[in-house]
Amino acid sequence: MLRRMTEIRTRKQYLPKPLEPTLEALPNPLLRYFAATRPAFLAVTFVGCLLGLATAAFSGIAVGPALATATLFFALVAHAGANVINDYYDALSGCDGANTERQFPFTGGSRFIQNGILSLRATGIFGYSLLAAVVPAGLWLTAVSGSELMLIGLAGLLVGWSYSAPPLKLQSRGLGEFAVTAGWLLVVIGSDFVQRHGFAFVPVAAGLGFALLVANVLYINQFPDVKADALAGKKTLVVRLGATRARWGYVVIAVLAYGWPLLMVLRGHLPVVALVALLPAPASIAAAHQLWFRAAQPTELTPALKLTVLAASAHGLLLAIILSMPWLRPT
């Protein structure tokens, strides 16, 4: 058995790792800038928007395709801008440059600045341009849906910007998980608001568990980055607690994430069939198990990072599908 485990570990050392981006691999400027937004990670915002549209449909509101498409597109642009801004400020702080234990593409940034694909200045201009592009779209959506949407949009932009930008630098103050939870809950609430033209509790009932699972994605990503973050003075929760104690944080967030929709079903805010959205819980459990024994081994954490992304996306999608079913709408 010991020999077999040694063979498996040896084989894993020689498995091909994801290639980091290079200038030679991205000769097209448009493709280069698109890739700098880390498009694969925009999926959680796509799911959040679908969930917000589903909560509106669950309330008996006819979802307008044009407004839904515009909401989805500009939410993705805002998330893309936040990703690029995060790269910019992490390069300024030096944490991405010092990160030798990164697990690309999940941690250590996009590597566009570090690998010479985009300059620091170009990255900053691009990130702020993306955030600025959302403003006129937000004003239009506010005009057609309700003035309170401006508050949701401004709060979302503030969270996306202040997550890594000074003077707030929420992640560096150990507040990143709260910011991410608020940000993705706002995605669900905002998508619902555009269709509903007002506030309701149902997007909170459906969205908070999903938002917490997204926060766990950002939380577990901090474990491979802990040494570089500490070196750069980026005091994330994992840096503050240390890898051993910080393992409990992942468990607590996951319990809250799955406990919330269960509570909402028990209180009658969500239908009983919404419990199907708890099916991804084993992925979170498996990730927690791996993190528990490998928290200080960055190269061994990639499966747990993938499982955490899977859990968040699958939970949100399942709940969106369930709430979209017309026969489940309250009468």
Q: Is residue 1 part of a domain?
A: no
**Is there a domain that residue 19 lies in?**
no
Mean pLDDT in consecutive groups of 10 residues from the start of the chain, 331 residues: 44 55 92 95 97 97 94 96 96 92 92 96 97 94 94 94 94 95 97 96 98 98 95 94 96 98 97 97 98 94 97 98 87 62
Rg of the Cα atoms in the chain: 20
N-term to C-term CA, the chain: 60
Q: What is the pTM of this model?
A: 0.92
- Residue 61: give the domain boundaries: 25-328
CATH code (residue 109): 1.10.600
Dihedral sign for Cα atoms in the order 181, 183, 186, 188: negative
CB 101 within 8 A of CB 83: no
pLDDT at 247: 97
d(CA 254, CA 250): 6
Q: How many domains does the chain have?
A: 1
pLDDT at residue 5, as a whole number: 40
CA-CA distance, 116 to 120, in Å (whole number)? 9
Q: How much is the pLDDT for 279?
A: 98
Is residue 4 assigned to a domain?
no
**What is the structure's pLDDT at 14?**
39
Q: Is residue 215 in some structural domain?
A: yes
